[in-house]
Chain A
């Protein structure tokens, strides 16, 4: 194979098309065996039933879907739908915050010299190398009642005398945003690097004010990067439950927690599969909605 490359046989476009496809074989096989088949299995399993002692009873019905929307032998309860709604809300808010904080960071980094940029990226990426649980535990300590962030918040009257910043929704968002931000910044930075500033100048030249120039001159060009950022933040955020579990003080039950319960303590794999399938569908649908709404004019 290697000699062929050196003889230039694989390097022509036509040959690459013809034989290069073979090289995608292992990757394709991997995806089919470990992603596509399990997903199909999951979606089939979602319509089976829990047997005794956690076994699977291949008795197809819509029972799990009914349970998911809240119907049980005790009547209807909104609990599951609330969990789903809360998961979506946290993921969307986290994504919006990451983009909002990531945009200025991307510009700020791009404004530095080459070596400084590498250093700043290292600063951003290093925390992601730490284990998620350890990082989150650090936030638990830092946001505790005796630490300085709480003192500052108390000084400004944001929280009462005996209160702390953790646990609560504030702590959850802090944890979510800080762990997702690096993944939002990277694609944003790439698109800042590629900006054609001539278009920004053109916008100013054509009498546009700052807001109009930002929208048409900068955002329009960055849209592919923003979409990549949203995908990289929204999808993991939807499934994330460790952070909300730890920083929310157990009060923030998310769909991730619920799924984990089914595959763990409750030993109800079919219901877990139904929840998982719904989560996948939610992710895909929200991305489609985002592309239709946000990307309509751009891509």
Chain B
């Protein structure tokens, strides 16, 4: 049983004037499924390419099991890549595409035969053995690309937006398969994606990247439920962000009243402008975490009057736009609320909304 771990140490990279990566530090343990998640231009693909060896970092090191590999060519790294465009060899059939890496290493013929066949079986493409890449569908190409990389038994498999070119249904199916293959082969997978649903569905660990830095590192549940800042909160799905001011321990003032929190916000005091001296920041709450009270429900605190403005059918749920009147001279605020399909509220209805303290996520900014 081989054991290794990947360490990315203070890696920076610029393209011309533009700093793409700003001192990235990551430690990735054996056998994890790690996702680099972020919007386009956040540097996730560049980081992947530096790990693969296609780009050279301006500063910092890539260390695999204690050995610095930053200066090794991709051919000499025990790392293989599944490319976004699949990059299958157009002149080789499926078998020879998968066998390519083994042939480069001059593995004996019968062993190549055995390993390629086993790999084709694992990803369910045995019947495509003699097909040429041009005749394959997107999903089939994706499987061939996966098999072609995995057959070399790499320490780490890198996947560059592997499912982005596929339609939604197939993507979901392949996400499950990808996860299964990762478990079966017990290989470390590092996947780049801009799709937060995909990241949450397959990963053991999500690294959220923004503007060349890792802004949050945690399990999918962590990153979704406890976003650290506005960017992560909004990037990880629909989210209401309430501008607030700390007024007492675990108590914050928002436009429509006062909110009791579970955790005291650690906001720094503002030094300039109208809010100087106050501790202000954002509080996030997901639309599924806002509860619409039934007439006979009552809660101690965090219950607010609201009026339904709009109702949008989303298939498995209703999305409501609720208006919460401002207190004092504050303007009213519109929040997005999610309700079950059988709970019908109409525009114009007056309701009470409850926000449970544990779902109110205090953000860093």
B87 in contact with A198 (CB, 8 Å):
yes
Contact string, A197-218, partner B, CB cutoff 8 A, digits 1/0? 0110111111111001000110
Q: How far is the CB of B77 from chain A (nearest CB, A)?
A: 8
Bound complex: CA A217 to CA B92 (Å): 11
Interface centre among B54, B81, B87, B149 (most CB of A within 10 A): B87
Contact check, B100 vs A216: say whether CB atoms are below 8 A apart.
Answer: yes
Decide if A298 is an interface residue (CB 8 Å cutoff): yes
Q: In the complex, which residues of chain B have a beta carbon less than 8 angstroms from the beta carbon of A217?
A: 89
Main secondary structure of the interface of B (DSSP, over half): loop
Which chain A residue lies CB-closest to B104? Answer: A207
Judged by a CB distance under 8 angstroms, whether B84 is at the interface is yes
Are A206 and B83 touching (Cβ within 8 A)?
no
Instruction: Check A223 for interface membership: any CB of B closer than 8 A.
Output: yes
Task: Report B-chain residues with C-beta under 8 Å of the C-beta of A198.
Answer: 83-87
Is A202 a contact partner of B104 (Cβ separation < 8 A)? Answer: no
Most buried by B among A205, A206, A207, A216: A205
Q: Chain A residues with Cβ under 8 A from B100's Cβ?
A: 203, 206, 208, 216
* 0/1 interface trace, chain B 75-110, chain A, CB 8 Å (1 if under): 110011101111111111000000011001100000
B74 within 8 A of A: yes
Q: Indicate if B191 sits at the interface (CB-CB under 8 A).
A: no
Which residues of A have CB within 8 Å of B91? 216, 220, 223, 297-298
Give CA–CA (A216, B152) in the complex, Å. 18
- Point out the residues of chain A lying under 8 angstroms from B74, CB to CB: 201, 204-205
A196 sits at the interface (CB 8 A): yes
The answer to the question of A164 belonging to the interface, with a C-beta cut-off of 8 Å to chain B, is no
The closest CB in chain A to the CB of B99 belongs to A206
A205 contacts which chain B residues (CB < 8 A)? Answer: 52-54, 74-75, 79-81, 149
User: What are 30 A-B contacts defined by CB distance under 8 Å?
Assistant: A198-B87, A201-B54, A202-B87, A202-B88, A202-B89, A202-B148, A203-B89, A203-B100, A204-B54, A204-B73, A205-B52, A205-B54, A205-B74, A205-B149, A206-B80, A206-B100, A206-B101, A206-B104, A206-B148, A206-B152, A207-B75, A207-B105, A207-B152, A208-B104, A212-B104, A216-B100, A220-B91, A221-B90, A297-B91, A298-B91
**Additional 14 contacts, C-beta under 8 A, given A204-B73, A207-B101:** A198-B85, A198-B87, A201-B87, A202-B81, A202-B87, A205-B52, A205-B79, A206-B75, A207-B105, A207-B152, A216-B89, A216-B92, A217-B89, A220-B91
A interface residues (Cβ-Cβ under 8 A, vs B): 196, 198-199, 201-209, 212, 216-217, 220-221, 223, 297-298
B contacts, CB < 8 Å to A: 52-54, 73-76, 79-81, 83-92, 100-101, 104-105, 148-149, 152
